[in-house]
Amino acid sequence: MTLIIGMVSQKGGVGKSTLARLVAREYAQAGWQVKIADLDISQGTSTDWKQRREQSKIDPEIAVEPFRTVMQAMKVISIYDLLIFDGPPHSMSGTLEIAKTSHLMVLPTGLALDDLKPSVLLAHELTANQISADKIVFALCRVGDKENEILDAREYIKRAGYRTLTGSIPEKTGFRRASDEGKALSEVSFPTLRNRAEELAQAIIDEASHILSLEKKVK
Ligand SMILES: Nc1ncnc2c1ncn2[C@@H]1O[C@H](COP(=O)(O)OP(=O)(O)O)[C@@H](O)[C@H]1O
Ligand SMILES: [Mg+2]
């Protein structure tokens, strides 16, 4: 069976591609066969990142391929242990397709209401289309250093009826640089940043493991 995780938001620039690469790297490092399906073909962010990663000869190798549709990506999944959808912005239909096929939907969001509100509306839209809230989690990305602001965002999401992952990803030059070099967030050289990235990645891995174990029980 292939685990499928979707990174989605209606907005661009919130951290979908960044999280897709982080999670892909953590599983690949653990020996899983991983593929990122880059559905943001107009930008091809993750596809470009893979090229930088190859040029820098960084291990583990991570497969990234652009796909026009979820259906196209689903045709190739059987050889992978994990497929990560790096979602397109501004596409409700594309996002719903991802949600229908994914075991877990990760919604990265910033802390401002301008970010939180559309993120929650997207989650509402998914649940209105029969996607279970159990498989939706929010990831706080590009956060500042004020703990109160982070707590307020967690509270906002909770009040809307959704869960937020443990940990958060701060907005840092070190992360930008790492990405420019073809690295994932957990491959930065600064231990404090690496720990932050690993904590959030682990929270996603724990969610995915939990969902998979429930699925096995049902079967
Ligand atoms: N935590 C962070 N710190 C610094 N830069 C970040 C961080 N997260 C994302 N970025 C940068 O912000 C931009 C948008 O991130 P990206 O993951 O591509 O968003 P999306 O896929 O949602 O459009 C990229 O240039 C990325 O390198
Ligand atoms: Mg992207």
Question: By the 8 A CB rule, do 184 and 84 touch?
Answer: no
Window from 35-44, 100-109, 200-209 with minimum mean pLDDT: 35-44
Does residue 180's CB lie within 6 angstroms of at least one atom of ligand 1?
no
Query: What is the reported pLDDT for 18?
Result: 98
Does residue 106's CB lie within 6 angstroms of at least one atom of ligand 1?
no
Q: Pseudo-torsion of CA 202, 204, 205, 208, nearest 10°?
A: 160
CA 142 – ligand 2 centroid, Å: 14
What kind and span of H or E run contains 71? helix 70-74
What share of the chain in percent tops pLDDT 70? 100
Residue whose CB lies within 8 A of the most ligand 1 atoms, among 9, 18, 36, for a mutation test: 18
**Residue-range definition of the domain harbouring residue 148:** 3-218
Confidence band, pLDDT 50/70/90 cuts, at residue 19: very high
Q: 47 pLDDT exceeds 80?
A: yes
Q: What is the pLDDT of residues 208-218, one digit of tens each?
A: 999 999 888 87
CA 216 – ligand 2 centroid, Å: 32
Q: What is the pLDDT of residues 69-116, one digit of tens each?
A: 999 999 999 999 999 999 998 889 999 999 999 999 999 999 999 999
CA proximity to 203, closest of 165, 168, 170: 165
Q: What is the pLDDT of residues 144-175, one digit of tens each?
A: 999 999 999 999 999 999 999 999 999 999 99
CA 40 – ligand 2 centroid, Å: 6
Does residue 13's CB lie within 6 angstroms of at least one atom of ligand 1?
yes
Integer Cα distance of 117 and 95 in angstroms: 17
Among the bound ligands, name the one nearest to the CA of residue 40: 2
Integer Cα distance of 47 and 64 in angstroms: 6
Integer Cα distance of 140 and 128 in angstroms: 23
Total domains in the chain come to 1
Q: Which CATH number does the domain housing residue 147 bear? A: 3.40.50.300
Query: What is the reported pLDDT for 126?
Result: 97
CA proximity to 136, closest of 87, 102, 86, 111: 102
Query: What is the reported pLDDT for 218?
Result: 77
Does residue 21's CB lie within 6 angstroms of at least one atom of ligand 1?
no
Residue 208: other Cβ atoms inside 10 A: 22
State the average pLDDT for the chain. 96
